[in-house]
Chains A and B, each alone.
Chain A
Amino acid sequence: MQRTDMTETPLHASEFRRIMKVLFSRGVVVFGIVVILALFVTAIFAPWIAPYDPYKLDLNQTLVQPCKEHLLGTDALGRDTLSRIIFGTRTSLMVGVVAVCIAASVGMTMGLIAGYFGRWVHAIIMRFIDALMAFPVILLALVIAVLLGGGLRNVMIALGIGLLPAYARLMCGQVLSVKENDYFLAGRAMGAGNLRIMFRHVVPNCFPPLIVLITMMMGLTILAEAGLSFLGIGIEPPGAAWGAMVNDGYQYLLTHPILSFAPGFAIMLVVFSFNMVGDGLRDALDPRLRGVL
C-alpha cells in the first residue's frame, strides 16, 4: 500500500526544523510566543513579581492615580492594580487550561464514538453537538452558573462544555475520513482490530489540527472567562480576575480610566498572542487547515 506512506509522515528532524523556521519567520508569532512564555512565568512566580499584596486593603491609599509607587494606581479599596493584574494571570491561565482540557477530552471522545460507530450513534451525538452550538457560550455558562453557583470551578465546567463542539467535530471528521481510506479496509481485511487501526491512524492525523485548535481555543476561552467575570460570575472576591477588574473600574471611568483600561489591555494582549501563535502553528504544521480552523 503506497498510500500509507503519504498519510503517516513521521516528524523527521528536518521537518521539525522546517516547522520551527516557518513558525519563527513571522514577527507577530514570535511576539505571541514571548508573551505566552512571559504569561506562564508571571502566573507561576506571581507572588515574587507583584510589587504589593493584591488582596491587601489600604484605605489610606484608595484610587491613587498612577505614580512611582503604584505604576497603574490603586482601586477603590486601595489595592495595587498592577499586582492584581499580575495575580489575574493565574485566573486566566487556569480557566483557559482546565476548560480547554475538559473540552478537548470530552469533545474528542464524543467525536471518536460518533465517527467510529456511525449510523444512529453518529446522528444522535452530532445533533447533540449541533444543539450545543445553538447556545451562545456565555449564556450556557450563565445557566450553569445559576444552577451550580458562580465559582471558578463551575465557570471552567461551563466553558468546557460550551467549547467542546469544535473538538467533537474535528475528531469525528478525522475518523470518518480514515474509515474511507484504503488502508483502513486493508487493515480490516488482514484482520487487524478496528479500534487498533483507528488509533494508529486517527491519532497521528489528529495531532496537528488538535494543537492548532487548542492554541486558538485558549484565546477564545480566556476571552469568554473575562466576559463572565465582567458579569460577576466566576472568581469570588477578593480574587483577582481581569474581567472583574474592568467592571470594578467602570464606575470610576471618568476619573480613573486606567482601572478599566489596564486589565482590559492585559486580556487583549494575551488573547492576541494565543491567536497569533495559533495562526502560526497552523501555517507551520498544516497549511491545508487554513480556512478550516
Chain B
Amino acid sequence: MTTYIIRRVIQSMLVLVMVTMIVFLVMRLLPGDPIYMLITEDDLIQSSEEKIAALRHEFGLDKPIPVQYINWFSAAVCGDLGVSIIHRGKVAKEIIGRLPITLHIGLLAFIISIVVGIPLGVVSAVRRGRWLDTGVTLLANLGITIPVFWLGILMIYFFALYLGILPVQGYTSPFEDFWMSTRKIIMPVFCLSVFPIASAARQTRSSMLEIMRQDYIRTAWAKGLRERLIIVRHALKNALIPVVTLKGLMFRNIIGGSVLVETVFNIPGMGRLAVDGVISHDYAIVQGIVLLIATVVLVVNLVVDLSYGWLDPRIRYG
C-alpha cells in the first residue's frame, strides 16, 4: 500500500509539472504578448519602445524559454501569479477569495452525485428491465444530455420567476446567512450535479451488470446467500472500482460546469472570474485560475485513486 501511495503521489507531481509546462507554454508560445500579463494595454500604448524593452528585461522576458519557465514556476510556487489588470491587484489574492465559493458549490454537487448516482445505478441494475430500471435509465440518459446552462435557465424560470419559491440569482456565504445561502445554492448545486449523477448511475449500472455475471457471484449464489447480501457484500465493492475512476474525472467536469453555472446564476466564483478574464483579455487571471483548478483536480484525483486501495486488496497488497 505504501509503495502504491508513494508511486501515485510521485506520478501526480509529474503530472502537475506537466500541467504547469502546458499552461506556461500555451501562454508564452501562442500569439499574444506575455507583456500583457504585467502591464495593462493602455500603459503599453502609452509607453515608448525603449520602456517596453526595459520592462521586458526587468521581467526576464528576453531570456530563453526554459529560464523563463523556471523563473515563472518558482514564482508560481510562491503564490505569485502576476497582476490582474481588471482587478488591479495580485492574481493570487483575487483567486483565493473566489475559490471557496466555487468549491462550496462544486464539492456539494460532487458529494450529491456520489450519494445519489451510485445507489440509483445499483437499483437500476438489480431491477434490470423493470419499470424502475427503465425510468432511471431514461433519466440518466437525459441527465448526460441536458445543457447545464439551459437547465439553470429552466429552473430559474420555473422556481424563481413562475413559482417564486427560490431566489433568482446570486450567492451568500453560509457563514453570513446560512438559510439564505442554502436557498441560493439549491439550483446551482442541482444543475451541477445532474450530469455527474447521471453518468455515475449509468456507469454503476453497467458495472454492476457486468459484475453480476462473474464466476464469484455464481459461487455466492451457490452458497445460498440472499440476493441483498450478494449485491451489498459481493458485487458492490467490485462494481465500484471502475466507478471510482470516473468520479475523479467527474470532479473536473463539475468545475468546468461551474463556469457556466456561475454565469447563469451570477455567482462571483472562480468560473465567473475566468469568463470575465477572457472577456477583458486579462491573461494573468485566466492563467492563474487554470493552474489552480488543474492543481485542485489533480489533488482530488489523487485522493480518489488512493481510495482504490480501500476497495481493491490487489492494490493494497500489491
Contact present between A and B (CB < 8 A): yes
- Residues of chain A at the chain B interface (Cβ within 8 Å): 28, 127-128, 130-140, 142-148, 150, 219, 223, 226-227, 230-233, 243, 246-247, 250, 253-254, 257, 260-261, 264, 267-268, 271-272, 275-276, 279, 290-291
Restricting to B264-316, which residues have a CB under 8 Å from any CB of A?
264, 274-275, 277-279, 281, 283, 286-287, 289-290, 293-295, 297-298, 301
Q: A130-B15, A246-B149 are in contact. Are A146 and B283 (CB under 8 A)?
A: yes
Q: Are A291 and B286 in contact (CB under 8 A)?
A: no
A-B contact pairs, 19 of them (CB 8 A): A127-B18, A130-B18, A133-B252, A134-B295, A134-B298, A135-B22, A135-B252, A136-B253, A136-B259, A142-B259, A147-B31, A148-B30, A226-B149, A230-B149, A231-B275, A232-B279, A253-B157, A264-B150, A291-B207
Q: Are A131 and B18 in contact (CB under 8 A)?
A: yes
Task: Chain A residues near B172: list those with CB within 8 A.
Answer: none
B220 to chain A, nearest CB (A): 20
Report the Cα distance A5→B232, complex, angstroms: 40
Q: A134-B298, A227-B260 are in contact. Are A142 and B275 (CB under 8 A)?
A: yes
Task: Chain B residues near A144: list those with CB within 8 A.
Answer: 26, 30
Report the Cα distance A44→B54, complex, angstroms: 55
A124 to chain B, nearest CB (A): 8
Q: Are A272 and B286 in contact (CB under 8 A)?
A: no
Which B residue sits closest to A139, measured CB to CB? B290
Which A residue sits closest to B28, measured CB to CB? A147
Q: Are A139 and B301 in contact (CB under 8 A)?
A: no
Is B96 among interface residues, defined by CB-CB distance under 8 A?
no
Task: Chain B residues near A226: list those with CB within 8 A.
Answer: 147, 149
B118 to chain A, nearest CB (A): 14
Chain B residues touching A, majority SS: helix
Q: Are B142 and A231 in contact (CB under 8 A)?
A: no
Chain A residues touching B, majority SS: helix
Is B1 among interface residues, defined by CB-CB distance under 8 A?
no
Report the Cα distance A243→B157, complex, angstroms: 17
Report the Cα distance A217→B295, complex, angstroms: 25
Looking at chain B, what size class is its interface with the partner chain? 35 or more
Task: Chain B residues near A276: list those with CB within 8 A.
Answer: 141
Is B146 among interface residues, defined by CB-CB distance under 8 A?
yes
Of B209, B259, B275, B293, chain A has the most CB atoms within 10 Å of the CB of B259
B125 to chain A, nearest CB (A): 11
A227-B259, A246-B149, A268-B147 given; 9 more Cβ-contact pairs under 8 Å: A128-B18, A134-B297, A227-B148, A227-B260, A247-B149, A253-B156, A268-B142, A272-B141, A275-B144
Is B3 among interface residues, defined by CB-CB distance under 8 A?
no
Of A134, A230, A232, chain B has the most CB atoms within 10 Å of the CB of A134
Report the Cα distance A223→B151, complex, angstroms: 13
Task: Chain B residues near A131: list those with CB within 8 A.
Answer: 15-16, 18-19, 21-22, 294
Q: A131-B15, A268-B150 are in contact. Are A143 and B287 (CB under 8 A)?
A: yes
Which A residue sits closest to B146, measured CB to CB? A268
Report the Cα distance A18→B141, complex, angstroms: 25
The 4 closest A-B pairs by CB, nearest first: A136-B256, A264-B150, A131-B18, A134-B294
Report the Cα distance A272→B137, complex, angstroms: 13
Report the Cα distance A127→B21, complex, angstroms: 12
Which A residue sits closest to B153, measured CB to CB? A260
Which B residue sits closest to A253, measured CB to CB? B157
Report the Cα distance A3→B41, complex, angstroms: 66
Q: Are A146 and B149 in contact (CB under 8 A)?
A: no
Q: Are B147 and A227 in contact (CB under 8 A)?
A: yes
Q: Are B19 and A134 in contact (CB under 8 A)?
A: yes
Of A140, A147, A254, A268, chain B has the most CB atoms within 10 Å of the CB of A147
Task: Chain B residues near A271: list those with CB within 8 A.
Answer: 145, 147
Q: Are B161 and A134 in contact (CB under 8 A)?
A: no
* Residue among B144, B150, B253, B277 making CB contact with A260, cutoff 8 Å: B150
B264 to chain A, nearest CB (A): 8
Is B70 among interface residues, defined by CB-CB distance under 8 A?
no
Is B203 among interface residues, defined by CB-CB distance under 8 A?
yes
Is B9 among interface residues, defined by CB-CB distance under 8 A?
no
Q: Are B141 and A143 in contact (CB under 8 A)?
A: no
Task: Chain B residues near A272: list those with CB within 8 A.
Answer: 141-142, 145
